[in-house]
Amino acid sequence: MNIREAATYYVKSHKPEKIDVDFITSTFGSVENYLDQEGADNGDLGERYIEISQHDSIDGATKTVEWYEDTYQIAFYTKPESERSSPEDFTPEIYFEPDFDVAIDGAVSLVKNDLSHISWVSSTHAYDVSVTKYTDGAAVEDIDVSEYLPGGNYHIVVDGTLLGSGDTPEDALRQAYKFGVDADLTLDDLVDNTNGKRHQVTSRDVVLRDNLDDVYIP
């Protein structure tokens, strides 16, 4: 059930004299809001529940009303792909957050390796950060975290460090000039690792990218 269906079932499952819908509505705004505030989490994937005691239940049996809410899975690895060797290394850390803005803010902080203020992360580094929306307990959409990073969709990376970003490759390169990239370089001189390309690079290469996986962001 979704929360709207759960609210209807919750009311119908009570003895009429054991539930005051008018009071719930005046206090919480609606039965749905009441469930949202008073319901408990039931594992991950957005499942929640609330119990009705046998004394209040329509048939004298304890009931558990369960429903799903949309939630967002945040996943990341603690090592870059090149350094993963054990099963633990290849197992991502996973967290769930029902608030979209909080989930995206957390994911952006993970991408930037700004982890000091994220209470639910014990790691010191995060790699290959992903966000997935879950509805009714199933994955329905992958969220592109890079769209929420400051500075645009193209990035100039040297030796694993971000030096410039912009809405176009030209904008990204112009910003990179300010942070030490040779001003004589043109777009033709860059290693193009956009659109799924993954050319091998050295520490001296200036790379154009459209994602920030495994990139250090100063």
Give the chain's mean pLDDT.
89
Which residues, 6 or more positions from 75, have their beta carbon under 8 angstroms from its beta carbon? Answer: 92, 93, 94, 95, 129, 130, 131, 132
Please report which confidence band the pLDDT of residue 218 belongs to, taking 50, 70 and 90 as the band edges.
Answer: confident
Closest alpha carbon to 167 in 158, 155, 177: 155
pLDDT > 90: percent of the chain: 54
**In the numeric block, which tokens belong to residue 86?**
């054990």
The predicted structure's pLDDT at residue 61? 96
Q: How many CA atoms lie within 13 A of 55 on its CB side?
A: 0
The domain limits of the chain are 3-68, 71-147, 150-209
Please report which confidence band the pLDDT of residue 150 belongs to, taking 50, 70 and 90 as the band edges.
Answer: low
Where is pLDDT greater, at 114 or 181? 181
pLDDT value at 152 more than 70: no
The predicted structure's pLDDT at residue 127? 87
Q: What share of the chain is helix, strand, coil (3-state, %, to 5)?
A: 30, 30, 45
The predicted structure's pLDDT at residue 43? 75
* pLDDT tens sequence across 20-58: 999 999 999 999 999 999 999 887 788 999 999 999 999
The CA distance from 208 to 165, in Å, is: 9
Where is pLDDT greater, at 167 or 93? 93
* pLDDT tens sequence across 6-19: 999 999 999 999 99
The predicted structure's pLDDT at residue 110? 86
**In the numeric block, which tokens belong to residue 28?**
């919480």
pTM of the model: 0.61
The CA distance from 142 to 107, in Å, is: 13
